[in-house]
Amino acid sequence: MKILVIGSGGREHALVWKLRQSPRVAKIYCAPGNGGIADEAECVAVDLKSLDSMIAIANRIQPDLTIVGPELPLMLGLVDEFTRRGWRTFGPTRAAAQLETSKSFAKEFLQRHRIPTAHYAICDSSEQVHDALPHFHTPIVVKADGLAAGKGVVIAKTKDEASAVAHEMLSGKMLGEAGSRVVLEEFLSGDELSFLVVSDGERVTPLVAAQDHKRVGDGDTGPNTGGMGAYTTRTIVDDQMRDWLLAHIVRPVIAGMKAEGAEYKGVLYCGLMMTARGPMVLEFNCRFGDPETQPILMRLESDLVEAIEASIDGRTSDGDFKWSNDAAVCVVMASGGYPGAYEAGKKIDGLEDAAKLDGVKVFHAGTSKRDGAFYTSGGRVLGVTARAAELQTALQRAYDACAKIGFEGAHYRKDIGAGTEEKIGSCSRDESHQQAEVDIEWTPTIMSQPLVSIVMGSDSDLEIMREAGKALDEFGIAYEIDVTSAHRSPDRTADYARKAAQRGIRVIIAGAGGAAHLAGVIAAHTTLPVIGVPIPSTSLQGLDSLLATVQMPAGIPVATVAIGKPGATNAGILAAQIIGVADVSVAKKLAAHKEKLARGVEEKSKKIKATAKD
């Protein structure tokens, strides 16, 4: 069969490399491809910004299968147009790709379908930004709504900086049309995880998980990039977490898109933050990730063509992929100045020496070839990728290969796959290509699923309800946070309560002000313990919500705590005590918490006695 791969980066090189291994493939075209891809496929010129140009190429080639790599053709509706012409194409339609092409669509979709994500606000003007900022704590994430090649996200340390960045985006000076709408988002802490699946519109099958490194500098410093490296191991998520992510994030997305008339076929990339509150969605990509694809495909041992055709034909199954237990890592070598302005046309040396190393494959991301030599042509130039039985060995191989490659201005991170407190030794290309020293003893772990659900009647209650989360953080208990209203969204609230236990939730903390019926309505639709937090939202300073929360009819118990922040703190502690009955580790932390309180009283007693003597 003839296959056409759309794109020109390291991701597309990895796809071409893996597709060539299928016995069913006779010819691969890549449009437009790059210097390195040209050694493994026939590259054909095309304008990725022009739908007509891509249609013309396919009309000439008449491929049996087309695979779309980058996001722009998806936004233009390439899959729609190719499918309409009878060309089998792997990827989501323009409507389904909105999960990536519009951050505001994605956030509102997540909220509609009760999928965990960060607190956010969508703003179309500087005035709306001004009104929204008081609802956020710093740092604040500012995102351009549209596609920005991985550069549309800024983490602002202050509200003034967030306001200034949002204004620049909205003005069009920073990112053009992509910034005509912005999303302000709560900053999340934790480990990032790239979780990819293939869907046929109804069923899904997961790829192995990976972790991407977005910032340009070691220790996650400097501006965001398209990705400076990634790694994958068999232990990055366990089977229980994988199944939780499928049940509570992936399948609800696929079902939700189908219910909204935009059936999702292709690869869905879920960019997640594994927080103390549990996994939360940062972003979606509607395609293979770059650079995650490179190490992921290094571990794939089955036929990629078969899995892709199963997605197109509506027969995706759990057996579509077979994986090696090896670890794999990709280190991106970038042009000097990237992710800012950079010069192209720098000659690349050492590629042949690097390719001779065991377990190493160098994927080309931004290169051209002339007169038998390779030259830089992009910001991200190479994806130096290696596979081995252990992560440490894979890292050593990748950095040994980096040490053999050189071009003017080359730079790359030295800590891919390492904890921020651990660094990878010098990997510069000098002293006759001496081997880079790698010292890695760190194995990544991923947080468990949420056990507590913190829910509030209005986003204005968030500042108070965060105190419950802080208390749970102290005891290492994962939780989720959401907003639902007993009065404005009664069906959603009832559905939320009924399905909480299915999501693995053990305790629900519900905060509301005024009439404060939220905790009672939730308790009426679940057998889980419910803790009510009265919110001081009226002139009665919470007395109304206190009485409304505590006065439940017989048979609908709600454990009611104090008004406001002290109550929210106690709600978190009480939830921990409920979980601690059956969890020894939590029980030990609770005992330590009690001892800490006692020591505090003793210290205050000593100070008072000493003051009295004076």
Stretch 351-361: mean pLDDT, rounded?
Answer: 97
Same structural domain, 55 and 20:
yes
**8 Å CB contact between 39 and 367:** no
Q: Please state the separation of Cα 493 from the chain's center in Å.
A: 27
Nearest to 129 by CA among 177, 178, 168: 168
- Write out pLDDT tens, residues 68-87: 999 999 999 999 999 999 99
Q: What's the confidence (pLDDT) of residue 95?
A: 97
213 within some domain: yes
Q: What are phi and psi of 114, to 5 degrees?
A: 55, 45
Per-residue pLDDT reduced to its tens digit, 267-308:
999 999 988 778 999 999 999 999 999 999 999 999 999 999
Q: What is the pLDDT averaged over residues 2-31? A: 98
Contacts of 5 (CB under 8 A, 6+ apart): 12, 15, 16, 19, 28, 29, 30, 31, 33, 41, 66, 67, 69
Q: How confident is the model at residue 227 (pLDDT cuts 50, 70, 90)?
A: very high
Same domain, 535 and 573: yes
> Using CA atoms, how far apart are residues 252 and 204, in angstroms rounded to an integer?
11
CATH of residue 35's domain is 3.40.50.20
**Which CA distances in Å does 232 have to 454, 532, 534?**
32, 42, 45
Please check whether residue 517 is in contact with residue 535, taking contact to mean a CB–CB distance below 8 angstroms.
Answer: no
509-518, pLDDT tens digit by residue?
999 999 889 9
Q: Residue 305: what residue type? A: V
Measure Cα distances from 310 to 88, 303, 366 in Å. Answer: 12, 11, 31
Please state, for a pLDDT cut of 90, what percent of the chain lies above it: 74
Residue 146 lies in a domain: yes
Query: Is 112 within the bounds of a domain?
Result: no
Which residues have a Cβ under 8 Å from the Cβ of 588 and sit 6 or more positions away?
A: none
- By CB neighbour count within 10 A (0-12 exposed, 13-18 middle, 19+ buried), where does 319 fall? exposed
Backbone angles phi, psi at 235, to 5 degrees: -105, 5
Whether pLDDT at 614 is above 70: no
The per-residue pLDDT for 302 is 96
- The answer to whether the Cα torsion of 334, 336, 338, 344 is positive or negative is negative
Question: Are 268 and 337 found together in one domain?
Answer: no
Structure tokens at 48: 């990725």
Confidence check: pLDDT of 258 > 60? yes
Q: What is the CATH number of the domain that holds 513?
A: 3.40.50.1970
Provide the edge-to-edge strand list for the sheet that holds 89-90: 42-43, 27-32, 2-7, 65-68, 89-90
Residue 570, CA distances (Å) to 468, 471, 534 in order: 7, 8, 12
Is residue 35 domain-shared with residue 68, that is, in the same domain?
A: yes
Q: Are residues 201 and 303 in the same domain?
A: yes
Average pLDDT over residues 19-38: 97
Q: What is the pLDDT of residue 408?
A: 97
Q: Is the pLDDT reported for residue 570 higher than 50?
A: yes
Q: Are 35 and 368 in contact (CB under 8 A)?
A: yes
Q: Angle at which helices 304-313 and 10-19 pack, to 10 degrees?
A: 100
Reported as a pLDDT band with limits 50, 70 and 90, residue 152 is confident
Q: Do 507 and 526 sit in the same domain of this protein?
A: yes
3-state secondary structure of 146: coil
pLDDT at 426: 28
Sheet of 229-232: strand order equals: 211-212, 229-232, 327-334, 380-388, 360-364
Overall average pLDDT of the 564-591 stretch: 91
CATH assignment at residue 153: 3.30.1490.20
C-alpha count within 13 angstroms, C-beta hemisphere, residue 477: 36
**DSSP-based three-state secondary structure for 129:** helix
Q: Looking at the domain assignment, is residue 495 inside a domain?
A: yes
Q: 65 is written with which tokens?
A: 């299968």
Are both 469 and 573 inside the same structural domain? yes
Say if CB 223 and CB 215 are below 8 A apart. yes
Burial 157-171 (b: 16+ CB within 10 A, else e): eebebbbbbbbbbbe
- Most confident among 326-335, 422-431, 459-468 (mean pLDDT): 326-335
Mean pLDDT over 195-212 rounds to: 96
From the number of C-beta atoms within 10 Å of its C-beta (0-12, 13-18, 19+), residue 603 rates as exposed
Grouping H, G, I as helix, E, B as strand and the rest as coil, residue 2 is strand
Do 151 and 123 lie in one domain? The reply is yes
pLDDT in the model for residue 437: 33
Q: Identify whether 613 is part of a domain.
A: no
Residues 416 and 406 in one domain: yes
Q: Would you give the distance in Å from CA 393 to the centre of its chain? A: 26
**pLDDT-derived band of residue 610, with 50, 70 and 90 as boundaries?**
confident
Considering the domain boundaries, does residue 356 fall inside one? yes
- pLDDT, residue 419, reads 54
The partner residues of 272 in beta bridges, in order of sequence, read: 193, 281
> For residue 231, what pLDDT band results from cuts at 50, 70 and 90?
very high
Residues 355 and 397 in one domain: yes
Q: pLDDT digits over 499-533, tens only?
A: 888 777 899 999 999 988 999 999 999 999 999 99
Segment 413-457, tens digit of pLDDT: 999 998 533 332 223 333 333 333 333 232 333 334 688 999 999
- Using CA atoms, how far residue 314 sits from 82, 99, 322, in Å, is 18, 21, 19
Contacts of residue 57, defined as CB under 8 A and 6 or more positions apart, other chains included, come to: 4, 29, 31, 44, 46
Q: Is 606 inside any structural domain?
A: no
Percent of the chain with pLDDT over 70: 94
What are the percentages of helix, strand and coil residues in the chain, rounded to 5? 35, 25, 40
pLDDT at residue 223 in the model: 87
Question: What CATH code is carried by the domain that includes residue 312?
Answer: 3.30.470.20
What pLDDT is attached to residue 174?
Answer: 80
Q: Taking the CB of residue 275, how many other CB atoms lie within 10 A of it?
A: 22
Q: Which domain holds residue 340?
A: 326-441
Segment 368-385 mean pLDDT: 97
Considering the domain architecture, whether residues 317 and 334 belong to the same structural domain is answered as no
Residue burial 42-78, b: 16+ Cβ < 10 Å; e: rest: ebeebebeebeebbebbeebebbbbbbbbbbbbbbbb
Q: Give the domain-ending residue among 155, 187, 219.
A: 187
CA distance 582 to 587: 8
User: What are phi and psi for residue 170, nearest 5 degrees?
Assistant: -65, -30
Q: List the structure tokens of 299.
A: 């571990």
215 and 182 assigned to the same domain: no
End residue of a domain, out of 72, 90, 108: 90
Count the domains in the chain: 5
Output the pLDDT for position 449.
Answer: 64
3-state SS record for 156-211: ECCHHHHHHHHHHHHHCCCCHHHHCCEEEEECCCCEEEEEEEEEECCCEEECCCEE
Domain boundary at 277, 310, 325, which? 325
Between 612 and 540, the higher pLDDT residue: 540
pLDDT at 157 over 90: yes
- Indicate the SS3 state at residue 348: coil
pLDDT at 121 over 50: yes
More confident residue, 147 or 346: 346
Domain assignment present for residue 18? The answer is yes
Q: What is the CATH number of the domain that holds 414?
A: 3.90.600.10
Closest CA to 422 of 440, 406, 434: 440
